[in-house]
Amino acid sequence: MTGRAQPITLVGTPVLHRPCRPVEEFDAALKDLVDDMFASMYEADGVGLAANQIGVDLRVFVYDCPDGSGEHRKGAVVNPVLELPELEERRLDDGDEGCLSVPGTHARLARPDRATVRGFDVTGKPITVEGTGLLARCLQHETDHLEGRLYIDRLSARARKKVLKESEEFRAEAESRAQAGESEPEGV
Ligand code: NI
């Protein structure tokens, strides 16, 4: 892994709140971007990361995340298209969700418990990723990012307000700890 960890963009940064552009060139720059995204995700202790979370306006995400059987799955998807089960076959998972761009908090959010993403790997080869468990949630969360949508945009107004307040408090505390010269707590 030759990537370099980049700072994570936070809620309120414009690149997080608008749709990303499709990737058109499967070149060395794309490979470098994906390497940086993996490094940034691991540095931040995340299970998934979208390109706009390191400030890059392109439709790419990476993941390293357990599926419903506990097996770890890892990869990068370029120009992903999300498919969810038909409404009558859809079951919801009412689990907790958080985001590196809204640090220090999380909230319950019901999402379909299975998801499929079709897209391309970094060489331009078509790929399909099917996810259950946390991976199903991750695939939906990351494709949302590339549409300029955060998980908090799917919460009720009240829940969204609570989560934003908790994240602001968390960041203020982290800031004052940093100024006092102490180490930062683990991110979520
Ligand atoms: Ni996120």
Q: Could you tell me the distance, in angstroms and rounded to a whole number, from the CA of residue 7 to the centre of ligand 1?
A: 14
Confidence of residue 181 (pLDDT cuts 50, 70, 90): confident
- Render pLDDT for 76-124 as a digit per residue (tens, 0 to 9): 999 999 999 999 999 999 999 999 999 999 999 999 999 999 999 999 9
Q: Could you tell me the distance, in angstroms and rounded to a whole number, from the CA of residue 185 to the centre of ligand 1?
A: 18
Catalytic residue among 83, 142, 166, 182: 142
Would you tell me how many other CB atoms lie within 10 Å of the CB of residue 161?
12
In the structure encoding, which two tokens stand for residue 77, read together?
């998807």
Q: Which residues contact 68 (CB under 8 A, 6 or more apart)?
A: 113, 132, 133, 134, 135, 136
How much is the average pLDDT of 162-184? 90
Q: Does residue 86 have an active-site annotation?
A: no
pLDDT at residue 2 in the model: 86
pLDDT of 11 above 90: yes
What is the rounded end-to-end Cα distance, in angstroms, of the chain? 22
**Average pLDDT, whole number, for the chain?**
95
Residues 74 and 64 sit within 8 Å (Cβ to Cβ): yes
Confidence of residue 186 (pLDDT cuts 50, 70, 90): low
Q: Could you tell me the distance, in angstroms and rounded to a whole number, from the CA of residue 56 to the centre of ligand 1?
A: 14
